Structure 1
Amino acid sequence: MAGSALHHDILIIGGGSAGIDVAARLRRAGAPDVGLLDPAETHWYQPLWTLVGGGAARLEESRRPQASVMPRGVAWIKDAAVAVDPDERVVTTAGGIRISYRQLVVCPGIQLDWERVPGMAEALDTPAGSSNYRPDLAPKTWELVRDLRSGTAVFTMPTGPIKCAGAPQKIAYLAADHWRRTGVLADIRIVLVLPTPGMFGIKEFADELERVAARYGIEVRTRSELTAVDPANRRATVTRHATGEAETIDYDLLHVVPPQSAPDWLKTSPLADPADPAGYVEVDRHTLRHVRYPTVFALGDAGSTPNSKTGAAIRKQAPVVVRNLIAAAEGRPLPAVYGGYASCPLTTARDRMLLAEFDYSMRPTPSFPFLDTTRERRDMWYLKRYGLPALYWNLMLKGLA
């Protein structure tokens, strides 16, 4: 098939939650020619990986065959994008296929840059290192948590936008709650390394998370970052942003989250925001249309919108993209607006959760105004554990939520 050519009226790059949701909505709206470019054979519900790492879910629950979630009538091209020419309206794949399009939706997800922190990738291959950001390692995280009876556990978060920005904290709380329940919490030093000034960007949620961290005796290092790992000697170097002062922490368990960016091919494309070294697609934050290429839209983790990169954000972005895509094709003004909604379900124990919902205003925007979701709640735990996965598989991926 190398060197061959295809054409689709609407081409979607990426078959994750964003791409499948948009494809399903387009088909429901009657779009006759939708192509979706993605090489994956497995579709993952990634929010469950934190619970896998915390011993509260099985990895098998988070995956299904990609073919089973592909909307009927969508042409699935099992290949990966390596280049895009928005002037010629052509995408080139790893297999050498050139796909022309009339309109393009870009949602290839986010790239995990393990190599940007010296020693981080190597630490994952040692008995004491893990990360819930890889599905093959999430079960290992639980094994490490379950087997640790004393010592030091370090949980880290990188600078810059990442998918599910609450995940680095969530696993720390789930681990601490397990150690509390098994009577060993007093024998384990827990260090949580955050690059941010506080626990969360919105005071109401930050205050509650400070109480949670204090309850578990977690040492929180704000405005700090993991800058190196010596996996052979189980040492983590944590650097304070303001002073450049480095602290070395010997660990018995290390859970890392890698720096993240747009896929490399996207960074070097004309679609990337030239002012952003992370290379995200430069879109209008309300219409989600590219600021320089009117036939291109983007959503999800690879977009430049200044909201948290979460599945909940995608759920609000997908209908905006579809409505505006159809309007643009018909030469009408774009009718739909994305207000920056994002949601971060923060598990604070094995039966408690804090549901942080907010938008561009950076104020709480609760979906359940009759519930105080700025506090830990047991009912929110059941939403996270059972409600949201059911919503994802049964409604969101079918363009119904």
Structure 2
Amino acid sequence: MFTASRVRLANQFKVRTFATQANKNFRVVVVGAGPGGLSVSSTLSELLGKDQVAVIEPSDKHYYQPLWTYVGGGLKDFNESVKPMGSVMPSEAEWIQDRVTKLDPDNNQVELSNGERVGYDYLVVAAGIQINWDQVKGLKEALGKDGVTSNYSVDSVKKTYPFIQDFKGGNAVFTFPNTPLKCPGAPTKITFLAEEAFRLNGVRDKTNVIYNTSLGKIFGVDHYGKVLQRLADERGIQMNFQTELIEIDAANKEATFRNNANQAITKQPYDFLHVAPPQGPPSFIKESKLADAAGWVDVNKETLRHNKYANVYALGDCSSLPTSKTAAAITGESGVLKTNLIADLKGEKIEAATYDGYTSCPLIVGRQQLILAEFSGYTGQPLETFPVDQRQISNVSQYINKEIIPSLYWGGLLNGTWTGPSKVRNALKCFRPANLA
């Protein structure tokens, strides 16, 4: 038998208990209780009822990670980004609080860390992305100490703003890895927020703000990237392209970078260092038959169905979908996946729902400034919701992203009712000026 997993809800004086039987089979097994996994399991468990949907998730906390840029920038409290996992887990789903170690699609089973197996009719993989701190030598040892931080860490994100406030001048260095990563705009956002903070704190004139990115430009979509680059130039942010962090010498406060164009190695002294760490597919996916050559779950980019195993779907960061890995992308992905999977469950033949690559990267460039980038990761073309030029800096967009979107996340995406802004976009389309169409 599985041992019962007991989760005490922080805001209630009671214990909810989740238990399963060994080798139990479910209509649907969902791996991961991030936004993708919860959106799908909430809808399907309500449709199918109790004992039909299992969610496998080891963590007892759920984090709204897009808020961590605001936490690192001193604009939000960390506690606003976290809730007990039991409080967001759908009541009709069965929560198996364990870790998946093996995927066995030939036998329609997943294996847990204790060696037990769970069977399924349909599998949804929403396991997120794996952060590989060890790929930068010295990073794990340096993180959270002496000005070295990362908004990608649950612990060090709380130290980012104190480090920024304590900064007295020198080299403030920011990095972007040579791998895919969740929220690829996040390294740029904290660069702009820190630069503004240095100005407000009166130390900007004795500060070098340096952004070292492995990419060939500041942002992948030129429609917004050109605006972002202009702002970086205006604010004196030094951009070094194709430049990858490979080592941190914390004792000497020195970072080593490799230029991926010519392989030249340079050493950069730092007084403040924000690291976006290398990331990749979770190991248990990479080692499975579900993986493509790069290690991601190999799914059709339109239907989100696996390209070999018809009863397997995936969404979010762990999938092979060639779009930005963001929570906004998951909204659109979840709607498409659920439409197609529900048809499977009902035995209905439908014209498959298709995902257009929609994603959003709200580019924070100041405490009250934001460029609301919305686009298709498939085409690189804008998919903007509002009938205005969203390349323009807006404090209204900042308010929406900072105060309204989190409510949509907690109260809409996680319970399966929010599947992206496409309906809003279509409703406002008639108000969009012809030159922005």
TM superposition score normalised by structure 1 = 0.96
Quote the offset at 1:95 in angstroms: 2.2
Structure 2 segments unaligned to the other structure (5+ residues): 3-20, 419-437
Answer whether contact 2:297 2:306 (CA < 8 A) is retained: yes
Aligned-partner SS, 1:121? helix
Amino acid at match of 1:245: A
Tell me how far apart the structure 1 counterparts of residues 223 and 109 of structure 2 sit (CA, whole Å): 46
Of 227-236 and 7-16, the range deviating more from structure 2: 227-236
Name 2:40's counterpart in structure 1. Answer: 22
Aligned-partner SS, 1:398? coil
Name 1:300's counterpart in structure 2. Answer: 316
Aligned-partner SS, 1:373? coil
Is 1:64 aligned to residue 83 of structure 2? yes
Residue by residue over 1:196-240, the C-alpha shift from the partner in whole angstroms, topping out at 9 and shown as x without a partner, is 111112222111111221232110111211122111111111221
Equivalent runs, 1:346-361 vs 2, <5 Å: 346-359=363-376, 360-361=378-379
Quote the offset at 1:271 in angstroms: 0.6
Tell me how far apart the structure 2 counterparts of residues 31 and 65 of structure 1 sit (CA, whole Å): 23
Name 1:34's counterpart in structure 2. Answer: 53
Structure 1 stretches of at least 4 aligned residues deviating more than 6 Å after TM superposition: none
Amino acid at match of 1:374: R
Answer whether contact 2:298 2:320 (CA < 8 A) is retained: yes
- Equivalenced residue count is 397
Residue by residue over 1:254-313, the C-alpha shift from the partner in whole angstroms, topping out at 9 and shown as x without a partner, is 11011111111111011110x21xx11000000000001000000000000000000000
Tell me how far apart the structure 1 counterparts of residues 171 and 158 of structure 2 sit (CA, whole Å): 20
Structure 1 segments unaligned to the other structure (5+ residues): none
Return the match for 1:223 from 230, 242, 249: 242
Return the match for 2:333 from 290, 313, 317: 317
Aligned-partner SS, 2:24? strand
Answer whether contact 1:6 1:97 (CA < 8 A) is retained: no
Is 1:119 aligned to residue 138 of structure 2? yes
Answer whether contact 1:128 1:234 (CA < 8 A) is retained: no
Name 1:265's counterpart in structure 2. Answer: 284
Return the match for 1:132 from 151, 154, 170: 151
Name 1:50's counterpart in structure 2. Answer: 69
Return the match for 1:188 from 194, 197, 207: 207
Quote the offset at 1:31 in angstroms: 5.6
Residue by residue over 1:314-371, the C-alpha shift from the partner in whole angstroms, topping out at 9 and shown as x without a partner, is 0001111111112223152452101111100111001101111111110111011x22
Equivalent runs, 1:123-162 vs 2, <5 Å: 123-162=142-181
Q: Taking structure 1 as reference, are residues 264 and 272 closer, same or farther at Cα in structure 2, changes over 3 Å only?
A: same
Amino acid at match of 2:327: G
Aligned-partner SS, 1:64? strand
Is 1:4 aligned to residue 22 of structure 2? yes
Answer whether contact 1:157 1:194 (CA < 8 A) is retained: yes
Is 1:178 aligned to residue 197 of structure 2? yes
Tell me how far apart the structure 2 counterparts of residues 381 and 73 of structure 1 sit (CA, whole Å): 36
Answer whether contact 1:15 1:38 (CA < 8 A) is retained: yes
Answer whether contact 2:209 2:236 (CA < 8 A) is retained: yes
Q: Taking structure 1 as reference, are residues 28 and 73 closer, same or farther at Cα in structure 2, changes over 3 Å only?
A: closer
Amino acid at match of 2:43: R
Amino acid at match of 2:233: A
Tell me how far apart the structure 1 counterparts of residues 128 and 149 of structure 2 sit (CA, whole Å): 22
Equivalent runs, 1:349-388 vs 2, <5 Å: 349-359=366-376, 360-368=378-386, 370-388=387-405
Name 1:89's counterpart in structure 2. Answer: 108
Q: In percent, how many aligned pairs have the same letter?
A: 39
Name 2:411's counterpart in structure 1. Answer: 394
Tell me how far apart the structure 2 counterparts of residues 254 and 303 of structure 1 sit (CA, whole Å): 30
Tell me how far apart the structure 2 counterparts of residues 230 and 302 of structure 1 sit (CA, whole Å): 31
Name 2:273's counterpart in structure 1. Answer: 254
Tell me how far apart the structure 1 counterparts of residues 308 and 232 of structure 2 sit (CA, whole Å): 45
Residue by residue over 1:77-122, the C-alpha shift from the partner in whole angstroms, topping out at 9 and shown as x without a partner, is 1111110110100111112221000000001110000101112222
TM superposition score normalised by structure 2 = 0.88
Aligned-partner SS, 1:232? helix
Q: Taking structure 1 as reference, are residues 169 and 354 closer, same or farther at Cα in structure 2, changes over 3 Å only?
A: same
Amino acid at match of 1:285: K
C-alpha RMSD of the superposition = 1.4
Quote the offset at 1:30 in angstroms: 4.2
Of 282-291 and 204-213, the range deviating more from structure 2: 204-213
- Structure with higher RCO (Cα < 8 A, 6+ apart): 1
Aligned-partner SS, 1:9? strand
Tell me how far apart the structure 2 counterparts of residues 303 and 287 of structure 1 sit (CA, whole Å): 12
Name 2:217's counterpart in structure 1. Answer: 198
Of 121-130 and 67-76, the range deviating more from structure 2: 121-130
Aligned-partner SS, 2:302? coil
